[in-house]
Amino acid sequence: MPRKPRIEYEGAIYHVMNRGNYRDDIFLVEGSGAVFEKTLFEACGRFGWMLHAYVAMSNHYHLALQTPDANLAKGMQWFQSTFGNRFNRLINQRGHIFQGRYKALLIESNHYLLQVVNYIHLNPIRAGLVHIIQLQNYPLSSFPKFFKKNRPACLQCEDWLALAGDLKPTAAGMRCYHQYLKYCHESNPEKQNAMYEQLCHGWYIGTKEGKKSLVKKVSDGPAASGGGIGRFGDAGGEVRLAQGLLKLDKTNDDLITDGKCCEWKVVLASWIKSQCGVSNQWLSDHLHMGSIYTVSRVVAQENRRPKGRRKLWRKLLTANR
């Protein structure tokens, strides 16, 4: 299965997560938490990342990080491989530490950032590891670090504290934020849990308008200096897929629930392939279209049909303008 491409641009904010291989409780191993934090802070220093929040649970971690340079993939490769090597030395073993490639969701830089930060900080509470009042006692989290003056330079709280009610990046501001978190946790738990579920799925956390703006930015504008999103191959396919779904008024859920070779999927597959030359395997995996031989056949058939006179094609052709 092909790797899912990353959308990278200067200043991008991500919700990054991964879990232990076979759901192993890697962070219950003595000393593993300290190794994780040390490696994470080193990665932030090496790649210039700003870390808005993080937490390490028994078998997984969450990060809310910002990349001033377009270097998420390069930095995460170093971070996970370095931590994996150090962890293996710690337990005197060899092998993969994480279950696969990390997941990274882009975050719109408004109150959605605050929602992700809240979600990350409340993870130990939802898991029943500590009570909300004792959240500062959970060590493998950014939350207690923000109360300290000598915290790592990469830890940044100014933006989301301001979103939480114009709070200041001070110990007093963090105490107010703690009360705010308590309110969020205790008020309408069902609504909160439903919202938190959305923070771990898809590829973008934000408004529909923000998603449209981003798709236009990365597909029509020049790539960011020092990185950016590619317009061809798998990376370009990711952009075209998001763009095409918007134009056709479809969602990622529709990709799963609708028929493997329904008309709109076949048209979308043909359009993406013509735009950036992705493989049939990529189309099969990302559009849920079945075998690569089926994809090859239906796309070839679609390419022989007139496009301009068909409604679905007219919608997609406007995506280039």
What's the pLDDT at 159?
A: 94
Domain span at residue 268?
230-320
Classified as helix, coil or strand, 51 is strand
Do residues 22 and 126 both lie within one domain?
Answer: yes
Do residues 29 and 135 both lie within one domain?
Answer: yes
Q: What is the DSSP string of 19-63?
A: EBGGG--GGGSTTHHHHHHHHHHHHHHHHT-EEEEEEE-SSEEEE
CA-nearest of 210, 199, 157, 159 to 16 is 199
State how far the Cα of 97 lies from the Cα of 26, in Å rounded to an integer.
8
Do residues 268 and 180 both lie within one domain?
Answer: no
Residue 54: which region, alpha, beta or left (left: phi > 0; alpha: psi -120 to 50)? beta
Let me know if 114 is exposed, middle or buried by CB neighbors in 10 A (0-12, 13-18, 19+): buried
What's the pLDDT at 120?
A: 97
What's the pLDDT at 5?
A: 61
What's the pLDDT at 219?
A: 66
State how far the Cα of 150 lies from the Cα of 89, in Å rounded to an integer.
29
The answer as to whether 223 is a domain residue is no
The answer as to whether 214 is a domain residue is no
Do residues 307 and 165 both lie within one domain?
Answer: no
The answer as to whether 275 is a domain residue is yes
Structure tokens at 197: 């579920």
CA-nearest of 256, 315, 266 to 286 is 256
The answer as to whether 7 is a domain residue is no
Do residues 192 and 260 both lie within one domain?
Answer: no
pTM above 0.75, yes or no: no
The answer as to whether 52 is a domain residue is yes
Do residues 73 and 148 both lie within one domain?
Answer: yes
Neighbour count for residue 211 (Cβ, 10 Å): 20
State how far the Cα of 248 lies from the Cα of 258, in Å rounded to an integer.
14
Alpha helices in 56-100 (DSSP H): 72-91
Provide the number of structural domains found in the chain: 2
Mean pLDDT in consecutive groups of 10 residues from the start of the chain, 321 residues = 68 93 78 94 92 95 92 92 91 80 91 95 93 95 95 94 94 96 86 82 90 77 43 71 90 92 92 76 90 83 72 78 48
The answer as to whether 305 is a domain residue is yes
CA dihedral for 238, 240, 243, 244, sign (positive or negative): negative
- For residue 32, what is the domain's CATH number? 3.30.70.1290
Do residues 46 and 190 both lie within one domain?
Answer: yes
What's the pLDDT at 83?
A: 93
CA-nearest of 179, 111, 116 to 142 is 116
Do residues 166 and 271 both lie within one domain?
Answer: no
Do residues 263 and 198 both lie within one domain?
Answer: no
CB 15 within 8 A of CB 105: yes
Do residues 155 and 289 both lie within one domain?
Answer: no
What's the pLDDT at 3?
A: 58
Q: In what helix (H) or strand (E) does residue 112 lie, and over which residues does it extend?
A: helix 111-126
Q: How many CA atoms lie within 13 A of 242 on its CB side?
A: 25
CB 27 within 8 A of CB 58: yes
Do residues 30 and 158 both lie within one domain?
Answer: yes
Do residues 164 and 251 both lie within one domain?
Answer: no
What are the angstrom distances between the C-alpha of 240 and each of 8, 77, 135, 158, 214?
15, 25, 42, 34, 12
The answer as to whether 34 is a domain residue is yes
The answer as to whether 2 is a domain residue is no
